[in-house]
């Protein structure tokens, strides 16, 4: 075992990626921001952080009462932004557009079975008001918590906006979560109402949302007084007359006007539960004005959103990406957004590309896990469809391997669409580090530079900034930003411990490791908890995985450490091949080849000691690799983690080398 003194304190970088992709002239010429205007924005943010955000807040949001105070840091790490102002998010997303955009399509919806709907801004506004009046009629009021457990249909967004309209705090629970997870979240939030549906369509099956809600409420959730049920699938469900109300009955006699509840800037807009690396889920609490401001500016800066765009973010509204870039961001800027209910592979893996073609999608935003999965299916599916309307692509959720980036760039973007690799978190509310597509070149695998007004840096153990290029360290944010989380619901101590204690309240700790290259570009190396320590070298997981994925036979890879008496940690790789999995999971020749390949690509230090092949990798419901589970498997310990949410539980046998 390496002793403390021989252990290199910083995280080493071994990945070499030097390709540079400047935006195409066609994109630059129409972009909202170019190099000059971006430089100006950066400068004004640097000169006066607070005034920078204050003028944006005045320009971009519509206030019922103007604020006079910008940032209040007296009670740090509890920060308040624009705190003496008042506004309403649903007013900002809907009413303020009606004069000019009332008849513009706000939402284009496609169900998994092919049904489509289009709703104008005026229609969404009317539905939101009626539903908000319905909520009020059953006694829901300002400050109450409301859980939304819905399929990806327009009513999910309508429900969110209706809560915002009356000042109720929503907590959206992803429809793929079990009754047990739903119950935990309801109880932690002390919610008074659940908004759900009979079911949703996903993967050719019905997701039994109402049945799961019944199960969650059967043993606990004492605070729940009402369950509102949208009829989506029309299949038989149990109905408790005393507790349950159909959505259509609730809104039937409601008027189409509902005065927005003007709330303070700091009023909690929503809670969103995110599972930490250990322990129970954290209810991340977001604000009203600050949250909305960063959603709006990133729609403009990063997505270059224009009046005639069709914007499609594939995330479920159960994740932060669905909050900021399905619901709030697109509507707050008056855009047309697309919502798709189902799975990417129904009826076949061409579905996303068909939707892009049929609805003339211009901006497409998805996760690397989806890109890799679709890449694995080959180029034929995307080639079948007309993707020429696409002008900008985006990714989020994980580091994207250069290999997958290149596929996205060539096969989907036809080498003319910039790719925005956006780094951010549930806690940050909106994009933090990302290219500005018309104003700077991109590099495959790098999220490039912090946005104007975001003070991201990489620091060592002591909190000193690392200035040597390519030396890894802790990713931190040094100045407060408007859409930062405000606390963890019901556990303020955990808020302080998790995000602020490491650097004594000075910096926000993101929990990721990262490095900056010679151009100052940021490269995310993985979660801090996942860093490997091989013979005293601290290695991020990302780079080894990228080297594996760069091999023509590899579609996906996850690397974890396994305790090793000599090296401290050995490298254990789980690999998904582009073709079939080897018989019984054994292919000595390929294993040798892959070990040599990694050794050649990045050096012998990164060569995996063991490689195991599986049909898929275990992922969380939001598509992130479950590395903690893989660590358990690599060490050969008994699995204690909850694996019931795995899409394909059968792969556990393969990962354990038993099948
Ligand atoms: C938006 C979201 C946050 C964590 C974050 C990172 C990882 C997200 C990127 C990324 C590399 C990216 N929120 N992450 N985006 N890593 N490049 N562009 O995903 O709360 O669910 O996750 O996701 O580790 O800390 S999240």
pLDDT tens column, 23-52: 999 999 999 999 999 999 999 999 999 999
CA of 324 to the centre of ligand 1 (A): 14
End-to-end CA distance of the chain: 32
328 lines ligand 1 (CB under 6 A): no
509 lines ligand 1 (CB under 6 A): no
Residue 295 token pair: 């959603």
Q: What is the CA radius of gyration of the chain?
A: 24
Residue 4: predicted pLDDT: 34
CA of 396 to the centre of ligand 1 (A): 6
Ligand 1 pocket test: pick from 397, 433, 512, 628 the residue with the most ligand atoms within 8 Å of its Cβ: 397
Banded pLDDT at 18 (limits 50, 70, 90):
confident
pLDDT tens column, 499-521: 999 999 999 999 999 999 999 99
Residue nearest to atom 26 of ligand 1 (CA): 425
Distance CA 659, CA 647 (A): 18
Ligand 1 pocket test: pick from 271, 396, 428, 451 the residue with the most ligand atoms within 8 Å of its Cβ: 396
214 lines ligand 1 (CB under 6 A): no
pLDDT tens column, 169-181: 999 999 998 898 9
545 lines ligand 1 (CB under 6 A): no
Residue 252's SS3 state is helix
559 lines ligand 1 (CB under 6 A): no
Banded pLDDT at 235 (limits 50, 70, 90):
very high
Distance CA 595, CA 17 (A): 20
CA of 395 to the centre of ligand 1 (A): 10
Residue nearest to atom 16 of ligand 1 (CA): 398
Cis peptide before 406 (omega within 30 of 0): no
Which atom of ligand 1 lies at the shortest distance from residue 622's CA? 21
434 lines ligand 1 (CB under 6 A): no
* CB distance 445 to 400 below 8 Å: yes
Share of the chain above pLDDT 90, in %: 85
Residue 568: predicted pLDDT: 87
Residue 620's SS3 state is coil
CA of 398 to the centre of ligand 1 (A): 5
- Which of 90, 58, 56 is closest to 162 using CA atoms? 90
Distance CA 232, CA 196 (A): 10
CA of 237 to the centre of ligand 1 (A): 37
Distance CA 277, CA 300 (A): 33
Residue 6: predicted pLDDT: 32
The H or E element containing residue 572 is strand 568-577
Residue nearest to atom 5 of ligand 1 (CA): 425
b/e 259-289 (16+ beta carbons within 10 angstroms → b): ebbebbbbbbbbbbbbeeeeeebbbbbbbbb
pLDDT tens column, 57-111: 999 999 999 999 999 999 999 999 999 999 999 999 999 999 999 999 999 999 9
627 lines ligand 1 (CB under 6 A): no
105 lines ligand 1 (CB under 6 A): no
424 lines ligand 1 (CB under 6 A): yes
CA of 248 to the centre of ligand 1 (A): 37
pLDDT tens column, 254-278: 999 999 999 999 999 999 999 765 6
* CB distance 510 to 476 below 8 Å: yes
Which atom of ligand 1 lies at the shortest distance from residue 423's CA? 18
Supply φ then ψ for residue 352, to 5 degrees.
-60, -40
Q: At what angle do helices 49-60 and 35-47 cross, to 10 degrees?
A: 120
316 lines ligand 1 (CB under 6 A): no
């Amino acid at each position: 075992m390496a002793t403390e003194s021989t252990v290199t304190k910083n995280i080493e970088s071994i990945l070499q990626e030097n390709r540079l992709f400047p935006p195409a002239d066609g994109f630059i010429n129409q972009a909202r921001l170019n190099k000059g205007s971006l430089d100006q924005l950066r400068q004004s943010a640097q000169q006066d952080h607070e005034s920078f955000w204050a003028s944006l807040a005045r320009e971009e949001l519509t206030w019922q009462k103007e604020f006079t105070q910008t940032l209040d840091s007296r009670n740090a790490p509890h920060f308040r932004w624009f705190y003496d102002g008042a506004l309403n998010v649903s007013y900002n997303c809907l009413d303020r557009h009606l004069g000019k955009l009332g008849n513009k399509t706000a939402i284009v919806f496609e169900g998994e079975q092919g049904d489509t709907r289009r709703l104008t801004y005026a229609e969404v506004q009317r539905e939101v008001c009626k539903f908000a009046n319905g909520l009020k009629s059953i006694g829901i009021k300002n400050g109450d918590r409301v859980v939304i457990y819905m399929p990806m249909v327009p009513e999910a967004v309508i429900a969110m906006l209706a809560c915002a309209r009356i000042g109720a705090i929503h907590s959206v629970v992803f429809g793929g979560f079990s009754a047990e997870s739903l119950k935990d979240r309801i109880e932690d939030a002390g919610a008074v109402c659940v908004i759900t549906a009979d079911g949703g369509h996903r993967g050719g099956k019905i997701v039994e949302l109402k049945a799961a809600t019944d199960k969650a409420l059967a043993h606990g959730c004492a605070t729940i007084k009402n369950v509102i049920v949208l009829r989506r699938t029309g299949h038989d469900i149990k109905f408790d007359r005393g507790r349950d109300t159909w959505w259509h009955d609730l809104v039937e006699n409601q008027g189409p006007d509902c005065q927005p509840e003007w709330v303070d800037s700091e009023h909690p807009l929503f809670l969103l539960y995110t599972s930490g690396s250990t322990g129970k889920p954290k209810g991340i609490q977001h604000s009203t004005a600050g949250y909305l401001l960063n959603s709006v500016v990133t729609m403009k800066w990063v997505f270059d959103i224009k009046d005639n765009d069709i914007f499609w973010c594939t995330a479920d509204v159960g994740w932060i990406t669905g909050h900021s870039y399905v619901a709030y961001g697109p509507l707050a800027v008056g855009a047309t957004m697309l919502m798709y209910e189902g799975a990417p592979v129904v009826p076949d893996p061409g579905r996303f590309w068909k939707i892009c073609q049929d609805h003339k999608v211009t901006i497409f935003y998805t996760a690397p896990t989806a890109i890799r999965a679709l890449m694995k299916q080959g180029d034929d599916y995307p080639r079948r469809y007309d993707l020429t309307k696409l002008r900008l692509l985006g990714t989020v959720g994980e580091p994207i391997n250069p290999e997958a980036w290149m596929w996205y760039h060539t096969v989907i973007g036809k080498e003319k669409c910039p790719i925005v690799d956006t780094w951010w978190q549930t806690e940050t509310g909106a994009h933090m580090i990302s290219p500005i597509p018309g104003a700077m070149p991109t590099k495959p695998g790098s999220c490039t530079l912090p946005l104007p007004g975001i003070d991201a840096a990489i620091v060592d153990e002591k909190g000193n900034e690392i200035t040597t290029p390519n030396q890894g360290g802790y990713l931190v944010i040094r100045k407060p930003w408007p859409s930062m989380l405000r606390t963890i619901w019901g556990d303020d101590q955990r808020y302080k411990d998790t995000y602020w204690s490491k650097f004594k309240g000075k910096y926000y700790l993101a929990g990721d490791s990262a490095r900056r290259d010679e151009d100052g570009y940021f490269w995310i190396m993985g979660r801090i908890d996942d860093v490997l320590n091989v013979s005293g070298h601290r290695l991020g997981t990302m780079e080894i995985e990228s080297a594996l994925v760069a091999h023509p036979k590899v579609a996906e890879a996850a690397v974890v450490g396994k305790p090793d008496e000599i090296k401290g940690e050995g490298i254990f790789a789980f690999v998904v091949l582009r073709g079939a999995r080897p018989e019984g999971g054994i292919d000595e020749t390929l294993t040798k080849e892959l070990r040599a390949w990694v050794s050649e690509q990045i050096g012998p230090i990164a060569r995996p000691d063991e490689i195991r092949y599986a049909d898929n990798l275990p992922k969380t419901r939001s598509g992130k690799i479950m590395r903690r589970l893989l660590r358990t498997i690599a060490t050969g310990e008994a699995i204690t983690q909850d694996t019931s949410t795995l899409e394909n539980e059968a792969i556990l046998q393969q990962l354990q080398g038993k099948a």
